[in-house]
Amino acid sequence: MAIGDRRALFQSVVETALAAGDTAQPEVVESALGTPFLERKVSLRARNVNVFYGEKQAIKDVSIDIGKRQVTAFIGPSGCGKSTFLRCFNRMNDTIEGCRVEGEILLDDEDIHAPEMDVVPLRARVGMVFQKPNPFPKSIYENIAYGPRLHGLAASRADLDELVENSLRRAGLWDEVKDRLDAPGTGLSGGQQQRLCIARAIAIHPEVILMDEPCSALDPIATARVEELIDELRERYTIIIVTHSMQQAARVSQRTAYFHMGRLVEVDKTERIFTNPAHELTEAYITGRFG
Amino acid sequence: MYGTLSNGHILSGFDKDMRKLRKRVLKMGGMVRDQMERLQLALGHDSTEQARQVIEGDRPIDSQEVKVDSFIVSLLARRAPVGRDLRYVVATSRIVTELERLGDEMTQIARVLCQEPLPEAGCDGHSPRAEVQRLMGHLIVLLDTALRVYEEDDARQAEVMVADELPEQIDLRDRLKYLVECVFDNRQDVAEAVNFMLVLRSLDRGKRHIDNIAEHVIYLVTGEDVRHQ
Amino acid sequence: MSKKKNKPLVKRRAIREAVLHGLARRRRRDRLLRLAGIGAIVLGLSFLAVMLVSLVSLGKSAFWQTHIRLELTLDPARLDPQGNGSQASLAAGDYAGVIKQALRARFPEVRKRREKRELYRLVSSGAAWALRDQVVADPELLGQRRAFWLLADDEVDQWFKHGEAGGVRLSERQRHWLESLRAEGAIDTFFNWAFFRNGDSREPELAGIRGALAGSFYALLVTLALSLPLGVAAAIYLEEFAPRNRWTDFVEVNINNLAAVPSIVFGLLGLAVFLNFLDLPRSAPLVGGLVLTLMTLPTIIITGRAALKAVPPSIREAALGIGASRMQTVFHHVLPQALPGMLTGTIIGMAQALGETAPLLMIGMVAFIVDVPQGFTDPATVLPVQIYLWADSPERAFMERTAAAILVLLLFLVLMNLVAILLRRRFEKRW
């Protein structure tokens, strides 16, 4: 089906729902794209995305809408392409040799893979948190201040101080580190390091935060804290999280997308994916009956 | 084999637990069915002794219910099932409750039988006792069907049951309606009439519990909740 | 217990016995390997010890030099020919004559011309120059008569230091005179400042390493100034920016091969390009530095790339993910992390260059140069070449100077490696 057709279909579904006075999201499952969104609630829109590593195709014709100010989880078995696809949203795949991305990904109707799009402002709008906590080998303060300084977000030292404090507060780390801002960021515990990385990402006021298995290196308590933080951040940011833990996806996300062998099998509200997924493969994966 | 997918769970213990759960529920179903057969006999022989046995027989069912329930809780805690597994465990928990209630209804009928025999004369020449005995046979058939539907995840058959379209259901429904009207028409002994009404009500409730089992099976298989529709 | 349950226990015991049986042999092998390793280290260390001991025992005497005490009459008529006491007049004085006169006065029995010549030869020709420098610096000395310690000839030096085994070219008469000098304590050794102050000389007692040290210093300065920025830039480009394709593979293979090219080939290249084609001065530290740059560049590039590779990619991802450009990523985060490793590689490359001889022979740094070089284009030699030159000289006194020069070279190499270690420690301790 052509993109235009599908979008038109969604539009009509949404309009019908609105006309009927139904302000809730309409319960219509439309193939892999899942429950359609109201237009104004879409933050990122991917259409027919293909990713190649040399000859090998890692992502096959994936189309998905990412809702604004909600958490979307990407789940799927190892090697299903979820991390690869996540990295398309801030063009981190550019750094990988031989990686080619086709199709369009729209952020506010701008194609982020367009040749005239510069990755630097893009990455200021789409932040990222990585699997392993990777603070810079600098002080806690410098870790947060680096991004704003890079993009010229703070006019004075006082501004910068305030920005650092706000970011750390929002990441729930301020009380733990306010007395040792000059201490090295690498000296924090794993969970604190990861929250520091989240604080660093939100210091440049992104619209979207990509998280690539942010808790895989953390213990359950640290994981819970990060999850709590994700839940709080949802009020301001669009969050996409790749996770190997289905429980985590169930806990933190509002929508869940299941990937399998480079294809998007199913995307829907999280509660639906975890109680009654539409696709057999999703069912097999989430219940642990994956061949 | 549990489930529709040919692949088993990666944790073989998971599937083992699920099978154990099904086995225990079916065992409980069997216990209730035994009660119903005993009650049918008691009706046939008009024996208060056998009716008393039925009252006695409810206790093992209750303890089986407690056993299955605690097993379900441990399953939820340890295996954290999702998707179809979650629906299966939840539906099973509900089915266990239905079975226990069904058992209670049978006890209720037995209690009535112990107190006072049913009226001898019926409305259309049939003896109410023989009538109840016949209807009890219907109920047993329906329970068998419901248990088979549960065992085989047979959603299609379950839908037929939910639609109330099995011949036993139709007959049971019609006869119950008729008998109730009959009791109202033939004003005989008030006590007898009340007893008879109680038996009929229990039969009706038993049928509803069995119907509910079918609803739970539909939820289990399709994820759709068809209750209260 | 049923039989069935006992069965695996029996089997398990058999397995345990088999393991115990093999254990003794395994331990023996472990011990053997450990002993072999210790043996190898002991052997290596003993070779090193033998080398150091022989060098020190051979070279230590070069740091002391024999002097002869003579009563000199600083006759103004001889030493101030113009009679005005001016610097020029004092510099033109006949100091050798004064010394000869003093020798004749000390040994009045010497009459024959041949004997006199033998007598004069006890004192180094450098003694007269040293005396002149002293008098020019302090004209008050004129007219006085006092004792001076004069630099002895190298044969006298060897005789005094090593007894009959040294000074083989001394005649019976000379030995006799020296005995009488020794008897009255007029012959002794002093610390050999000249070894560090002088350039090369035909006379062993006058020869020093200052010229060679200066030459090495200038050459290494050129090498460092060129190879560090070039090497670091090349390493950064290849590791961080260059696309992986056939062309960069080719460059990489060539850099690795370049590190294995015999150093004399670089000398030939230097001769052809820098001297013949570019017409740069022969024997100059500038050219030497250029040639050494060619030689150390591959080392620096390879170690630099290794240091960059060792920086965890997560740091790069973090910087890129926050919106840093690739250049900002490299210069703000990757390079500071890699710098200690790069500097270590550079210093090791420099140490290599310091010890290099072969390529410098090809560009004329092997010439006999007495003057200490004052700049990059003055003719010069370098320490290892100086060692090579002295090792080639027939005089016995040059042998100990060779050993002493080697000790100095080794000292510098150890110091450079020490700096490398300290640098690495200091930078790596930061976080």
Tens of pLDDT, residue by residue over C121-178, are 888 888 888 888 888 888 888 888 888 898 888 888 888 888 777 777 788 888 888 8
Q: Do chains B and C touch (3 or more CB pairs under 8 A)?
A: no
Tens of pLDDT, residue by residue over B92-127, are 999 999 999 999 999 999 999 888 777 766 667 678
Tens of pLDDT, residue by residue over C354-372, are 988 888 888 888 888 888 8
Q: Is C319 on the interface with A (CB under 8 A)?
A: yes
| pLDDT, position A210 | 95
Indicate yes or no: CB of C323 within 8 angstroms of CB of A124. Answer: yes
In the predicted structure, residue C347 carries a pLDDT above the cut 50: yes
Indicate yes or no: CB of A197 within 8 angstroms of CB of C325. Answer: no
Report yes or no: A209 and A237 within 8 Å, Cβ to Cβ.
yes
0.90 surpassed by complex ipTM: no
In Å, how far is A204's CA from the nearest CA of chain B? Answer: 38
In the predicted structure, residue B6 carries a pLDDT above the cut 80: no
Report yes or no: A96 and C243 within 8 Å, Cβ to Cβ.
no
Residues 6+ apart with CB under 8 A from C233: none
In Å, how far is C259's CA from the nearest CA of chain A? Answer: 28
| pLDDT, position C430 | 54
| pLDDT, position C56 | 92
Q: Closest to B83 (Cβ–Cβ): which among A247, A277, A291?
A: A277
- Per DSSP, the residues of B5-19 read SSS--SSHHHHHHHH
Q: Which of A30-44, B68-82, C4-18, C116-130 has the highest mean pLDDT?
A: B68-82
Nearest CA to A197 out of A132, A148, A252, A243 is that of A132
Which positions 64-103 of B are in contact with A (Cβ < 8 Å)? 80-87
Q: Is C232 exposed, middle or buried, given 0-12, 13-18 or 19+ CB atoms closer than 10 A?
A: buried
Q: Which residues of B touch A256 (CB under 8 A)?
A: none
| pLDDT, position C231 | 94
Residue A259, phi then psi, degrees to nearest 5: -110, 145
Q: Which residues of A touch B3 (CB under 8 A)?
A: 289
Identify the DSSP state of A183. S
Rounded CA gap, C181 and C172, in Å?
14
Q: Give me the sheet containing C187-191, strands edge to edge.
A: C145-151, C64-73, C187-191
* Mean pLDDT of the residues in chain A: 84
In Å, how far is C431's CA from the nearest CA of chain A? Answer: 6
**In this structure, which long-range contacts are made by residues C258-263, counting pairs with CB atoms below 8 Å and at least 24 apart in sequence?**
C258/C297, C258/C298, C259/C298, C259/C299, C259/C302, C262/C358, C263/C295, C263/C356, C263/C358, C263/C359
The β-bridge relationship of strands A99-107 and A110-111 is antiparallel
In Å, how far is A156's CA from the nearest CA of chain C? Answer: 20
Q: Has residue B6 been placed in a domain?
A: no
**In this structure, which long-range contacts are made by residues C306-313, counting pairs with CB atoms below 8 Å and at least 24 apart in sequence?**
C306/C341, C306/C345, C307/C235, C307/C338, C307/C339, C307/C340, C307/C341, C307/C342, C307/C344, C307/C345, C308/C235, C308/C236, C308/C239, C308/C240, C308/C334, C308/C335, C308/C338, C308/C342, C309/C239, C310/C338, C310/C341, C311/C337, C311/C338, C312/A134
Q: Has residue B3 been placed in a domain?
A: no
Q: Closest to A289 (Cβ–Cβ): which among B7, B86, B87?
A: B7
In Å, how far is B156's CA from the nearest CA of chain A? Answer: 18
Which is higher by pLDDT, C340 or A22? C340
Which whole number is the average pLDDT over C59-88? 84
CA C76 to chain centre: 44
pLDDT band at A25 (very low <50, low <70, confident <90, very high): very low
Q: Which residues of B touch A247 (CB under 8 A)?
A: 80
Rounded CA gap, B49 and B113, in Å?
10
Q: Has residue B4 been placed in a domain?
A: no
Q: Which residues of A touch B223 (CB under 8 A)?
A: 275-276
Percent of chain C exceeding pLDDT 90 equals: 26
| pLDDT, position C5 | 52
Report yes or no: B215 and B155 within 8 Å, Cβ to Cβ.
no
Indicate yes or no: CB of B3 within 8 angstroms of CB of A284. Answer: no
Q: Which residues of B touch A291 (CB under 8 A)?
A: 7
CA dihedral C214, C219, C220, C223 (to 10 degrees): 170
Q: Has residue B1 been placed in a domain?
A: no
* Mean pLDDT of the residues in chain C: 87
State the Cα angle at B145 between B142 and B148, rounded to 5°: 150
Q: Which residues of A touch B13 (CB under 8 A)?
A: none
In Å, how far is A276's CA from the nearest CA of chain B? Answer: 5
Indicate yes or no: CB of A287 within 8 angstroms of CB of B81. Answer: yes
Indicate yes or no: CB of B3 within 8 angstroms of CB of A289. Answer: yes
Test mutation, C316, C317, C320, C322, chain A, max A CBs within 10 A: C322
Indicate yes or no: CB of A288 within 8 angstroms of CB of B10. Answer: yes
Tens of pLDDT, residue by residue over B73-93, are 999 999 889 888 999 999 999
Residue A105, phi then psi, degrees to nearest 5: -125, 120
In the predicted structure, residue C431 carries a pLDDT above the cut 70: no
- Cα–Cα distance list, C280 to C174, C297, C366, C374, C386 (Å): 50, 21, 16, 17, 22
Indicate yes or no: CB of A204 within 8 angstroms of CB of C317. Answer: no
Q: Has residue B101 been placed in a domain?
A: yes
Q: Which residues of C touch A135 (CB under 8 A)?
A: 318
Q: How far apart are the first and last CA of chain B?
A: 31
Q: Is B104 exposed, middle or buried, given 0-12, 13-18 or 19+ CB atoms closer than 10 A?
A: middle
- In single-letter form, the type of residue at position C342 comes to M
Q: How far apart are the first and last CA of chain C?
A: 62
| pLDDT, position A36 | 60
| pLDDT, position B3 | 37
- For the full predicted model, state whether its pTM sits above 0.90: no
In Å, how far is A73's CA from the nearest CA of chain C? Answer: 20
Q: Is A286 on the interface with B (CB under 8 A)?
A: yes
Nearest CA to A59 out of A201, A252, A260, A251 is that of A260
Test mutation, B5, B219, B226, chain A, max A CBs within 10 A: B5
In the predicted structure, residue A174 carries a pLDDT above the cut 80: yes
Report chain A residues touching chain C, CB-CB < 8 A: 90, 92, 95, 97, 119-124, 127-128, 130, 132, 134-138, 146-147, 150-151, 184, 186-187, 197, 200-201, 204
Rounded CA gap, C415 and C114, in Å?
51
Nearest CA to C401 out of C213, C192, C211, C218 is that of C192
Tens of pLDDT, residue by residue over A202-238, are 999 999 999 999 998 889 998 998 999 999 999 999 9
Rounded CA gap, C156 and A40, in Å?
103
State the Cα angle at C199 between C195 and C204, rounded to 5°: 60
The β-bridge relationship of strands C64-73 and C145-151 is antiparallel
In the predicted structure, residue A8 carries a pLDDT above the cut 60: no
The total number of residues shown for chain B amounts to 229
Q: Which residues of A touch B86 (CB under 8 A)?
A: 274-275
CA-nearest residue to A281 within chain B is B5
Which ranges of B80-152 does DSSP label H, i.e. alpha helix?
Answer: 83-115, 128-152
C343 three-class SS: helix
In the predicted structure, residue C192 carries a pLDDT above the cut 70: yes
Q: Closest to C322 (Cβ–Cβ): which among A137, A138, A150?
A: A150
Which is higher by pLDDT, B91 or B2? B91
In the predicted structure, residue A20 carries a pLDDT above the cut 70: no
Letter string b/e over residues B8-37, b meaning 16 or more CB atoms within 10 A of that residue's CB = bbeeeebbebbeebeebbeebbebbbebbe
SS3 of chain B: helix, strand, coil, percent, to 5: 80, 0, 20
- Which single residue is written with the structure tokens 């040749």? A115
Indicate yes or no: CB of A275 within 8 angstroms of CB of B83. Answer: yes
Rounded CA gap, A46 and A40, in Å?
15
Q: Do chains B and A touch (3 or more CB pairs under 8 A)?
A: yes
Domain assignment of residue B42, given as a range? 12-222
> Domains of chain C by range and CATH?
64-192 (no CATH), 210-427 (1.10.3720.10)
Q: Is C359 exposed, middle or buried, given 0-12, 13-18 or 19+ CB atoms closer than 10 A?
A: buried
Q: A12: number of CA atoms within 13 Å, CB side?
A: 6
C170 three-class SS: coil
| pLDDT, position C407 | 92
CA-nearest residue to B220 within chain A is A276
In the predicted structure, residue A24 carries a pLDDT above the cut 80: no
Q: Is A271 on the interface with B (CB under 8 A)?
A: no
Rounded CA gap, C395 and C388, in Å?
14
Rounded CA gap, A198 and A231, in Å?
13
In the predicted structure, residue C61 carries a pLDDT above the cut 50: yes
Which whole number is the average pLDDT over B221-226? 88
In Å, how far is B41's CA from the nearest CA of chain A? Answer: 44
Which whole number is the average pLDDT over C44-53? 95
Q: Closest to C323 (Cβ–Cβ): which among A95, A135, A204?
A: A204
Q: Has residue B228 been placed in a domain?
A: no
| pLDDT, position A29 | 35
Question: Domain total for chain B?
Answer: 1
In the predicted structure, residue C278 carries a pLDDT above the cut 60: yes
Q: Has residue B130 been placed in a domain?
A: yes
CA-nearest residue to B90 within chain A is A275
| CATH number for position B154 | 1.20.58.220
Q: Worst-scoring range by mean pLDDT, A201-210, A246-255, B179-188, C2-11?
A: C2-11
| pLDDT, position B121 | 67
In Å, how far is A50's CA from the nearest CA of chain B? Answer: 30
pLDDT band at A30 (very low <50, low <70, confident <90, very high): very low
| pLDDT, position C429 | 52
In the predicted structure, residue A5 carries a pLDDT above the cut 80: no
Indicate yes or no: CB of A151 within 8 angstroms of CB of C323. Answer: yes
Which whole number is the average pLDDT over A194-203? 93
In the predicted structure, residue C79 carries a pLDDT above the cut 50: yes
| pLDDT, position B7 | 65
Q: Has residue B7 been placed in a domain?
A: no
